Structure 1
Amino acid sequence: MSSHDAIPAPGGEHASAGGGHYPAHTPKAPRVAGVEFIGTGSYLPEDKITNAGLERIMDTTDEWIVQRTGIRERRKADPAKHESAWTMASGALENALADARIPADQLDLIIVATVSSEMATPSVASRIANRLKAGKAAAFDLAAACSGWVYGLNVAHEMIRGGGITTAAVIGTEHLTQYMDYSTAGRGCAILFGDGAGAAVLRRAADPAKGAIAWSMHGDGTGWKDLYIPRRPDDLPEGTDPAAVKMGQMFMNGREVFKFAVGTFQSLIAETLDKAGVRAESVAHFVCHQSNVRILEAARERFGIPQDKLYVNIHRVGNTSAASVPICFDELRRAGRIHPGDKVMFLAFGAGLTWSSSLWQF
């Protein structure tokens, strides 16, 4: 015991190293708080990349893309309009704060999920905190690719429920078109990905029943080599020919990623339902990462999920990685389809490999 440690004294008191006494105190267990969404927002660039546009610059067709992915168009950030990962994230959070009817300086925490920040440092979250005048809110970025926003949602939820903070913003933003090769050689990725951002504002709720009733977060680093954006030849998987990969552009082993996504998505739903002790039919909405319509349909059919319970917008925005789940939820919420008492499951899977879920009671 160091000289700075408190020394137990008779009579239920402690003696300090300086000789003083203070009453013994048994800390109370923190009261578990509920957590609720109080605002959502999104930002989608106006510029679109249509399948017809891709037909003109690479060997592909609208029919081929739609049949394999369900995508008809995706959005593209325009640097001439100062659109980037951080500005789109800022726009999405501004919309979410307006929906929540609170100023940014009421936020205790800002988490940004992204793999496409324009700067190594500072974080996108810090730049947003400055732009929106969020005061001394804690701010950090989280890199878990397509799973990032759901990872961040679970982190923020636990920080609020544990009593450490009251109000948090969780944002997913991606400017992935900057990493695409818009030629026939790069069509495996270029047909899939688009740009955008989605945000949610969470707050402590008086009702402890509100919030996540089950969540899961997983990773498998052995699969990192199936989807990555290299910056140096030294970072390529062992045995890879550097001449076969373009630095700064996305590489994806489509066959392996599809196999991972199909199996993982379905097992993740089953795991989360089992943790919560509920059946699929009791979930009002499954808000899923928009990776490929075939993956979504396979899960929907396995669990007997009605079409109106599994929201799909991939045909309009493509795969926006960490932004896809919050964009979907914002659209659902603004359409008036989320009601008190609903159970809503958020699900995502992506590079890393990573996968995560969060089942909420509204």
Structure 2
Amino acid sequence: MYNSKITGLGYYVPDNIVTNEDLSKLMDTNDAWIEERTGIKERRWIKEGSEDTSAVMGAKASRIAIERAGLTKDDIDFIVFATLSPDYYFPGGGVQLQDMLDMRTIGALDVRNQCSGFIYAMSVADQFIKTGMYKNILVVGAEYHSGGLDKTTRGRGVSVIFGDGAGAAVLSRTEDNTKGILSTHLHSEGKHAEELTVLAPSIKHWVPAIIAANDKNDESYFPYMNGTFVFKHAVVRFSETIMEGLKSNNLDVADINMLIPHQANLRISQFVQRKFKLTDDQIYNNIMKYGNTTAASIIIALTEAWEKGKINEGDLVILAAFGSGFTWGSVIIRW
């Protein structure tokens, strides 16, 4: 039985910084209101006319990760691409990535688990490697949110939260069972699907119907979030999935060297930090700079933490996420 370990990390965010003050010019909001509720000071949004898309940003992050892994594009055996904002309704971003990186005709799988997307993608890649099917897998999380947000006062509860960006990890085979991914844990509860959703376009409300109605008050194609409801569930599920991962490996909270939570809301991360009595050196947050980049948030934060020397060989690193679906999960890593 093989183990999988992260051998390369990379991320990319657009140059365009959008501050809370910038948003106050588009909608009835202000810096204090946004920071108090989310902890966010600024985010990156793709500028109109830019070449960047979810797939393009994913490719930029991937090139960095592959180089840092000491590999070439020809060494990659498979792609797992996580996003809720693909360039096209179909096909998914994985095949675009294969083309943009000029790779062999390897398989490409798309994961649509929103905020938990990177956790699910890592779990899938880990299983492919553990079974011996593949040796090196490129796992990508990328999001282009800004083009689909309601940037008016009506949509401020959601639109101030989200940012654009991408991250990538190369997962490689190792025969050292004491290092790499120790376990992954995945969950869902679909009865809450409409508490955090984009309802249209969909088979129930397809494009011709939207065009025919020409209803400027139709909010179905903008993200909707029942913020308080999501927050209450998030803090519970975050805690559960972290403890599940620890217990399955005979570990406890004292063993955690670094927790990288999905960057949904700084207040959620702070709640979890207080509950587990973690120091500031045991948890990494960057939502203040980038906002919530959904499937990209964990991998961007993980890459930054590693680049800053906050993660070292032998460390116990936990990745955890909760989001739309509801879905949640964790990845337990011995670095």
Q: TM class by shorter-chain length?
A: over 0.9
Instruction: Provide the residue aligned with 1:36 in structure 2.
Output: 5
Matches within 5 A, 1:98-177: 98-177=67-146
Contact preservation (8 Å) 1:106, 1:134 = no
Deviation track 1:14-44 (CA, whole Å, cap 9, x = no partner) reads xxxxxxxxxxxxxxxxxx1122111000010
Please give the per-residue CA displacement for 1:67-114, whole angstroms capped at 9, x wherever unaligned: 111000011012412111110111110111121121111111100000
Distance 1:39 1:225 in 2: 36
Match of residue 210 from structure 2: none
Please give the per-residue CA displacement for 1:210-243, whole angstroms capped at 9, x wherever unaligned.
222232100111111011112248747xxxxx98
Alignment of 1:7-26 (within 5 A): none
Q: Name the residue aligned to 2:174.
A: 205
Identify the residue that residue 87 of structure 1 maps to in structure 2: 56
Identity of aligned residues (%): 33
CA deviation map 1:97-138 (0-9, x unaligned): 121121111111100000101212322111111111220221
Query: Residues of 1 paired with 2:75 and 2:122: CA distance?
Result: 18
Q: Does 1:316 align with 2:250?
A: no
Counterpart in 2 of 1:220?
A: 189
- Assess if the C-alpha contact under 8 Å between 1:105 and 1:137 holds in 2: no
Q: Report the number of matched residues.
A: 326
Quote the residue 1:231 is aligned against: 200
Note the residue ranges of structure 1 that are not aligned, 5 or more in a row. 1-31, 237-241
Q: Which among 242, 267, 290 is matched to residue 269 of structure 1?
A: 242
The partner residue of 1:292 within 265, 281, 296 is 265
Which range moves more in the overlay, 274-283 or 40-49?
274-283
In the alignment, does 2:241 pair up with 1:302? no
Q: Which structure 2 segments of 5+ residues have no match? A: 206-214
| AA aligned opposite 1:313 | N
Matched with 2:305 is: 332
**Distance 1:352-1:244 versus aligned 2 partners, 3 A rule:** farther
1:51 corresponds to which residue? 20
**Where does residue 223 of structure 2 map in the other structure?**
250
Root mean square deviation, CA, Å: 1.5
Give the whole-Å Cα distance in 2 for the aligned partners of 1:244 and 1:260: 29
One-letter amino acid of the structure 1 residue matched with residue 67 of structure 2: A
Give the counterpart letter for 2:41 in structure 1. R
**Is the 2:5–2:181 Cα contact (8 Å) retained in structure 1?**
no
Q: Kindly provide the CA deviation profile for residues 164-195 of structure 1, in whole angstroms up to 9, marking residues without a partner as x.
A: 11000110001111221111100010110000
Q: CA-to-partner distance for each residue in 1:234-282, whole Å, 9 max, x for gaps?
A: 747xxxxx98642421111112111111211122212221222101121
Determine helix, strand or coil for the equivalent of 2:241: helix
Residues in 2 aligned to 1:353 and 1:186: alpha-carbon distance in whole angstroms: 21
CA distance in structure 2 between the aligned counterparts of 1:243 and 1:356, rounded to whole angstroms: 37
Partner amino acid for 1:62?
Answer: D
- Superposed displacement of residue 292, structure 1: 0.8
**SS at structure 1 position matched to 2:138:** strand
Letter in 2 for 1:125: G
Distance 1:234-1:107 versus aligned 2 partners, 3 A rule: closer
SS of alignment partner, residue 296 of structure 2:
helix
For residues 99 and 201 of structure 2, the distance between their equivalents in structure 1, rounded to whole angstroms, comes to: 32
Is the contact made by 1:264 and 1:355 (CA closer than 8 Å) also made in structure 2? yes
Whether the 8 Å contact between 1:48 and 1:73 is mirrored in structure 2 is yes
Paired residue for 2:252, among 255, 279, 296?
279
Normalized against structure 2, the TM-score is what? 0.94
Offset at residue 60 of structure 1 (A): 1.1
SS in 2 for 1:80: coil
What is the SS of the residue equivalent to 1:322? Answer: helix
Q: 1:134 to 1:353 in 2, by over 3 A?
A: same
The match for 1:19 is none
Q: Which has the higher contact order (CA 8 A, sep 6+)?
A: 2
Residue 350 in structure 1 maps to residue 319 in structure 2? no
CA distance in 2, matches of 1:233, 1:340: 46
